[in-house]
């Protein structure tokens, strides 16, 4: 049986709920004969989030790791393609830290590609009726920070593990308080995560399909 580690964050920036954690803890109740899901909460805090992630990776020894974060203002379930080695916080994190233009990992490479089969995942999500897209930037706040920390740990210590980052829209009840913003139902997000996990488990070589952006 395969083991899947899925993480979500606590609320930040004035919101009282984080859809990532809501989705992840709901997902943890999803049962399947071939795999088990372990959900963990990460704090929206630089460095501490990566320390905890590494500790959970050690304890749980997962085959697939999905970190999930809120991207308020985006309309789709988006699969991040690349993590970059910079912290550049527009607002303070949940412990008041606001690093600007520092590396996530001293002397780490500029970026890491996700090891998820993103084209196969997007193709399957669309077939299942879930609005999805590939994203080429996870920002420069704690989401990208954790994503980079994850891919670095996989690169140096966990070869072969499939890992990546998913950005999700506001939940409807959040968007009701952010006038005009798009949202996605919790069910749709959770289904999207199941599709992502199952496609990652089923895919050895990724599809070669159009998925880029002109700019």
Report, in Å, the least distance between residue 85 CB and a copy of itself. Answer: 8
Residue from 26, 94, 133, 203 in contact with a copy of itself (CB under 8 A): 133
| 17 lines the binding site for a copy of itself (CB under 8 A) | no
Residue numbers annotated as active site: 80, 143, 167
SS3 113: strand
CA distance 200 to 66: 10
196: tokens are 């992502």
| 137 lines the binding site for a copy of itself (CB under 8 A) | yes
Nearer to a copy of itself, 2 or 103 (CB): 103
| 82 lines the binding site for a copy of itself (CB under 8 A) | yes
Classify residue 58 as left (phi > 0), alpha (psi -120 to 50) or beta: alpha
Among 185, 141, 199, residue whose Cα is nearest residue 9: 141
Nearer to a copy of itself, 157 or 176 (CB): 176
| 71 lines the binding site for a copy of itself (CB under 8 A) | yes
Quick count: other Cβ atoms within 10 Å of Cβ 68?
30
Question: Which residues lie closer than 8 Å to 176 by C-beta, 6 or more apart?
Answer: none
CA distance 5 to 63: 8
Residue from 181, 194, 201, 203 in contact with a copy of itself (CB under 8 A): 181
**Residues at the contact surface with a copy of itself, assessed by CB under 8 A:** 13, 69-76, 81-82, 84, 86-91, 98, 100-101, 109-113, 119, 125-126, 128-133, 136-141, 143, 167, 169, 171-173, 175-177, 179-185, 187-188, 206, 208-215
């Amino acid at each position: 049986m395969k083991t899947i580690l899925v993480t979500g964050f606590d609320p930040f920036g004035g919101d009282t709920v984080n859809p990532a954690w809501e989705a992840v803890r709901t997902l943890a109740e999803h049962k399947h004969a071939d795999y088990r899901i372990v959900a963990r909460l990460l704090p929206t805090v630089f460095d501490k989030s990566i320390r905890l992630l590494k500790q959970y990776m050690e304890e749980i020894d997962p085959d697939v790791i999905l970190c999930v974060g809120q991207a308020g203002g985006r309309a789709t379930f988006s699969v991040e393609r690349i993590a970059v080695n910079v912290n550049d916080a527009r607002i303070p994190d949940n412990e008041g830290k606001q690093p600007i233009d520092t590396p996530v990992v001293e002397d780490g490479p500029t970026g890491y590609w996700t090891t998820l089969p993103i084209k196969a995942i997007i193709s399957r999500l669309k077939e299942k009726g879930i609005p999805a897209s590939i994203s080429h930037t996870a920002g420069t706040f704690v989401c990208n920070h954790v994503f980079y920390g994850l891919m670095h740990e996989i690169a140096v210590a966990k070869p072969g593990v499939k890992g990546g980052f998913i950005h999700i829209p506001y939940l409807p009840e959040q968007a009701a308080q952010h006038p005009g913003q798009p949202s996605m139902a919790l069910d749709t997000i959770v289904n999207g995560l199941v599709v992502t996990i199952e496609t990652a488990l089923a895919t050895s070589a990724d599809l070669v399909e159009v998925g880029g952006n002109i700019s």
